[in-house]
Amino acid sequence: MRYGSLQLKNNLVAAPLAGISNRAYRVLCKRYGAGLTYVEMLKVESFLHHNRKMMTLKYYREDERPVGIQFAGNNPQWLAEACKMAEDEGYDTVDLNMGCPVPKIGKCGAGSALMAYPEKAGKCFDAMVNAVKIPVTVKIRAGVNENCLNFIEIGRMAQEAGMVAITIHPRTRAQSFKGVADHSRTGELKAAVDIPVIASGDVKEPEDAVKILRETGCDGVMLGRGVWGRPWLFREIDELRRYGRVITPTPDATERLGVLRDHFALLLEGFDARHACQVVRRYATWYVRDIPGSAQYRARMTQVESREEFHEVLDEITDHYESIVGVPEHEIIGRRAPALAVTF
């Protein structure tokens, strides 16, 4: 798939997620088949201030390419300046977020709140595209609410401004993440524009992605929450699309815990141990959630304070899982993990 001048190895994109899309997360997404990753969504004014925290958030390495950056904002001048900075800092593509429904972004008139102001959005599109040579894209929602479904209008404006692709999450701003993503709207947008359309929303299984691609005719899929603790979903989608079935076996719990260990090691490359522990607390529960009898371990994992404690708890979870391998499911149901000594 092409984003203007940028050739991607496939049509699977890892969504830019605030608080999630750090380097460790991006590396794992790439390892399992993502064609494009982004640093986490950034407020444009924060990016321009260039403080120490921002240096950490936007950090990437050459081995991640292609890598993009996404801004939330509604000031054309600021967005243009941010795009220039992003281009100078080596990002391969830049995206405007018009899809985030989170109130703290919306109260600033950014994210999906910008869907309510097409004229202002158009000025942002023009400013960003005219500021740089790298590909510029936009992520949108279906509209503000069911009475204001303006995704086709916004999509055509983006195309006319010179944006090279559009990602659509086909819920409205009012829906946030409730209900279902109506991908018939994705198909409508694809029919209305000539540039690539990327589908986002409710991709939880490989079959979901393949069905959306087939039924809407869209060009690619952006994955967000569906790959939390499951980065191999990229690989499974690619295999199902290419071969009609998933070739590589889905990782069992032992393998998943190994990926969690890798995830933590990658976090330690970018953060000090204490910060890495704070970050891994969120990720750990995703990897562990399906292991029977692991509730106590999940609780401990959300409170680890050191790398030693992290590995201690992870080793105990691994031992617990291996102790129940081969035990009939009806015997596992309701079985509690052994009592753990709490050390914090």
What is the token pair recorded at 246?
A: 């998933």
CA 94, CA 134: separation in Å to the nearest integer? 7
Listed in sequence order, the DSSP H helices in 220-272 are: 233-243, 253-270
> Which residue matches tokens 């149901």?
333
What is the Rg, in whole angstroms, of the alpha carbon atoms belonging to the chain?
21
* CA 15 – CA 203 distance, rounded (Å): 12
Backbone angles phi, psi at 197, to 5 degrees: -115, 130
Which is catalytic among the residues 29, 100, 218, 277? 100
Query: How far, in Å, CA of 232 to CA of 249, rounded?
Result: 10
Catalytic residue list contains 100? yes
Closest CA to 154 of 189, 186, 183: 189
110 phi/psi in degrees, rounded to 5: -110, -175
Structure tokens at 50: 């260039």
Q: How many CB atoms lie within 10 A of CB 67?
A: 21
Catalytically active residues are 100
